[in-house]
A = this chain, B = another copy of it.
Amino acid sequence: MNNTFLKACRGEKTGYTPVWLMRQAGRYLPQYKKVRAKVDFLTLCKTPELAAEVTIQPVDILKVDAAILFSDILIPTETMGMKLEFSESKGPILYEPIRDEASIDKLRDLKPDEDLPFVLETIKILLKKLKVPLIGFSGAPFTLATYMIEGGSTKNFLNTKKMMYQSPVLFSKLMEKMTDTVIRYLQLQINAGVHAVQIFDSWAGTLSPYDFEKFALPHVKKIISVLKNSKYKNRNQELKNIPIIYFAFNSSGMLKLVKQSGADVFGIDWRIEISDAVDMLGSDNAVQGNLDPCILFGRKGLIKERVEHILNGAKSAKGHIFNLGHGILPETPVDNAIAMVDYVHELSSKKGEH
């Protein structure tokens, strides 16, 4: 297996900078669209052969150094009893959003040994076929809670913040339940054999540092601490320390706090120079990022220039995994995504810096 990605996560020397793209399996790929034409999004997530197929596609097409399980962060909320739908126009919808204690009490606990058999099966297929590490993932408790409280996407997160500010005990109860869910969900994936996990905190950046520290960070800390201290089945010594990536989107103003989560790797969006992020996070962690996904709509020369700028900026990090600063956009020209991956490999090998 190509171990470059895992080595970079651990801050070990590598021959080049590994790269993968958030949402690398998805609507910008004709091959994905062909599979997706046959089934709806949720069915795709829950059909192991198909989920595995689209997980592998970008590894073959883009030559990225890691695969990420094809799924959605909201899958566990459905397992907990909420009705989940993906609407082409509105995005995710969670029916009967959580607004009171009764609806929190109704949520059932995740049972790792019974629930989500399709996740286990997808991972099993992938581990047989992949020549690169497989990343498992989960949403962070705060991000999952926003969807559950708002009932879908939102602009101002007003219902979430109303619960936080007006009913902090209730909000805490939901967050604790979601923390347990995330722990069980990631343990399930690690037991099944994923090589690393990423925690997506897509909406952490809607919080002030004050609120992030009070309402969201303690739960992420707990998850990472429990995962680091758990025993896993069937894992040999080399794989015992599963790298944990924490991606708190839009958190440039509070990286000092983000660092306290205890993750091994920090995902960085494009709103900060990666060199500044490394300065703020310190040199004892790896970083992942941080190209603006829109750069992939520019000419190849521009893409190359920006790839080089980021590679240079991340020089002082303990390890660097190249990635976009957010998910790849559906309209992205595939050629440009391929070119970007090539530039990362080519420019970082020349430099021989990692």
A interface with B by C-beta (< 8 Å): 156-158, 161-162, 165-166, 205, 207-211, 250-254, 270-273, 276-277, 292-295, 297-299, 302, 306, 309, 325, 329, 331
Contact = CB atoms under 8 A, between A and B. Distances in A.
A331 B158 contact: yes
A210 B273 contact: yes
A58 B326 CA distance: 40
Given A158-B297, A253-B272, 12 more contacts: A157-B294, A158-B331, A165-B294, A165-B297, A165-B298, A205-B271, A208-B292, A208-B325, A250-B250, A252-B254, A253-B276, A254-B271
A14 to B, nearest CB: 25
A329 B302 CA distance: 40
A123 to B, nearest CB: 31
A302 B254 contact: no
Nearest to A160: B294
Contacts of A297: 158, 161-162, 165-166
A329 B156 contact: yes
Q: Indicate how many identical chains form the complex.
A: 2
A196 B221 CA distance: 45
Given A158-B297, A331-B158, A271 B208 contact: yes
29 contacts: A157-B294, A158-B294, A158-B329, A161-B292, A161-B294, A162-B294, A165-B297, A165-B298, A165-B299, A165-B302, A166-B298, A205-B271, A207-B292, A208-B270, A208-B271, A208-B273, A208-B325, A209-B271, A209-B276, A211-B292, A251-B271, A252-B252, A252-B254, A252-B271, A253-B253, A253-B271, A253-B272, A253-B273, A253-B277
Given A271-B205, A271-B254, A309 B165 contact: no
Contacts of A277: 253
Contacts of A254: 252, 271-273
A196 to B, nearest CB: 25
Given A156-B329, A294-B157, A209 B272 contact: yes
Nearest to A256: B276
A210 B306 contact: yes
A302 B156 CA distance: 19
